[in-house]
């Protein structure tokens, strides 16, 4: 029986960066850029150590839902490196549903469930894919001597906008410009003279600005000429999405016979901070002392609703704790994590046996216990992607 590999065993010479709408698996599978080669080799090594009977399903998920497949592979090796045996998709005594893992060390057995949080609805994700595909198609624009900045873009319906129509429009507008336009702009450094192209049809409205290249490139067709995209205004931290994701996973299996940890990879665009995580879990923001990690971080009056406490009552008592990460394939040793122990869990255990730092409540105060970071747990140097 041939062993299943995560990526193709081929010679690669593709130095292009990822396209806007490209599947991450396809990009890692084709790229020959140094840092992506390093990441691909690590993922391949991790995958080779995954149980053989589970590899086919996991590889298929890498191709379809890269982020969630990566996170499960990451967690599998996290707990292996922490000294646990890991059983994949264990059976539950009172449910046909199966959590992602059962981790075992000595007499300690813990169910683990993984979740990736994007802070996006399925509708928004679908819309962003349409826009990304439009950008990829628009990058096929072949105009000499110009880059382009997309300043505004608005989809009018659920249809995929036609980049071909926009390309013809841009080519026509560029032809209208005076041949000396580029030279005058660059020589006088007067970019206020640059006109904006306004395009509008039944599917999309668009504002795009031509940006002249250096004089030496005026007769060269620029590859991937769309160099700037509309600025996204992020107005909050994504706390509600994280809270909903944790609660949904915590309630998925009902009452359990063993401790249970939900692991959430918060890779939404709103850049959550440790303070955001603390608010989600405890209901208030912690002021953590970085120099004294075992000292009291803040007083917890239990007046605020939180994951573990709501309307003066304990909630989600089947849940033993929550691990929140923000890890990507290229950030493993540099990523932070935050583990929180449920103070009222019906399935409690000694968190020190995990080998991770964690926060816990005691006498109406929140404390933080020290533990290893990902760099030491995985034995990967933080500069692992720097070319030697």
Q: What is the pLDDT of residues 85-138, one digit of tens each?
A: 999 999 998 888 999 999 999 999 999 999 998 865 556 667 777 888 888 888
Q: What is the pTM of this model?
A: 0.78
Dist CA 372 CA 176 (whole Å) = 62
Residues facing residue 152 across a β-bridge: 207
Low-confidence ranges of the chain (pLDDT < 50): 233-236, 286-298
pLDDT of residue 233: 47
Question: Residue 388 class from Cβ within 10 Å (0-12 exposed, 13-18 middle, 19+ buried)?
Answer: exposed
pLDDT of residue 296: 43
Domain residue ranges of the chain, discontinuous segments joined by +: 1-50, 65-119+238-378, 122-228
pLDDT of residue 74: 98
């Amino acid at each position: 029986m041939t062993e299943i590999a995560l990526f193709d065993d081929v010679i690669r010479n593709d130095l292009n960066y990822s396209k806007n709408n490209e599947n991450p698996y396809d990009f890692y599978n084709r790229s020959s850029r140094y840092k992506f080669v390093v990441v691909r080799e690590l993922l391949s090594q991790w995958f080779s150590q995954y149980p053989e009977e589970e590899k086919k399903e996991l590889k298929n998920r890498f191709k379809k839902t890269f982020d969630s497949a990566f996170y499960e592979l990451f967690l599998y090796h996290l707990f292996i490196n922490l000294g646990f045996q890991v059983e994949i998709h264990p059976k539950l005594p009172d449910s046909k549903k199966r959590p992602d893992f059962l981790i075992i060390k000595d007499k300690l057995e813990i169910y683990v469930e993984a979740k990736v949080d994007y802070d996006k609805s399925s509708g928004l994700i679908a819309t962003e894919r349409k826009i990304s595909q439009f950008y990829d198609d628009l990058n096929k624009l072949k105009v000499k001597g110009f880059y382009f900045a997309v300043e505004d873009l608005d989809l009018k319906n659920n249809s995929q906008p036609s980049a071909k129509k926009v390309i013809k429009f841009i080519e026509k507008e560029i032809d209208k410009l005076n041949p000396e336009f580029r030279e005058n702009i660059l020589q006088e450094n007067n970019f206020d003279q640059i006109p904006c192209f306004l395009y509008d049809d039944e599917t999309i409205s668009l504002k795009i600005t031509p940006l002249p290249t250096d004089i030496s490139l005026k007769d060269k067709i620029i590859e991937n000429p769309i160099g700037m995209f509309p600025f996204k205004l992020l107005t909050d931290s994504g706390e509600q999405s994280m809270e909903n994701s944790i609660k949904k996973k915590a309630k998925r299996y009902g009452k359990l016979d063993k401790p249970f940890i939900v692991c959430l990879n918060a890779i939404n665009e709103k850049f959550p901070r440790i303070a955001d995580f603390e608010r989600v879990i405890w209901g208030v923001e912690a002021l953590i002392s970085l120099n004294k990690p075992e000292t009291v971080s803040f007083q917890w009056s239990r007046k605020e609703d939180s994951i573990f406490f709501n309307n003066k009552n304990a909630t989600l008592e089947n849940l033993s704790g929550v691990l929140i990460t923000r890890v990507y394939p290229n950030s493993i040793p540099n990523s932070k994590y935050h583990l929180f122990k449920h103070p009222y869990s019906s399935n409690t255990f000694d968190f020190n046996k995990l080998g991770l730092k964690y926060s816990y409540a005691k006498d109406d105060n929140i404390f933080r216990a020290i533990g290893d970071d990902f760099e030491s747990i995985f034995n990967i140097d933080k500069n692992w992607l720097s070319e030697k």
